Amino acid sequence: MENKLLVQDILRLDIPEMVINKLNENSITKIGELCTQGKTELKNMGISMNDANKIEIELELMGLKLKNSL
C-alpha cells in the first residue's frame, strides 16, 4: 500500500495551500517526493517549522515519514 501512497499528489495532504504552493515551486508534487525531504530542506524552502511538523504528522498518519525522521 505504501507504494500507492507515494505516487499520490501532495494535494491529498491536509496542509495549508501556502505550503502546497511552496512545495510546488520546489518541484515537489507527489507524496514520495516529499518523503525524500527532511525538515531542514523544508525550512530552506521557506516552510515554517510549525508547517513542517504538520506535514510530518500527515505523513505519519499514512504510515510514511520525512527523510531523517525517527
Q: Quote the pLDDT of residue 46.
A: 97
The reported pLDDT for the residue numbered 2 is: 64
User: What would the mean pLDDT of 56-63 be, rounded to a whole number?
Assistant: 95
- Domains of the chain plus CATH, in order, are 2-61 (1.10.150)
Mean pLDDT, range 1-20, rounded to an integer = 91
The predicted structure's pLDDT at residue 66: 96
Ramachandran area for residue 59 (φ above 0: left; ψ -120 to 50: alpha; else beta) = alpha
As a whole number of angstroms, the distance between CA 23 and CA 13 comes to 12
Q: What is the pTM of this model?
A: 0.91
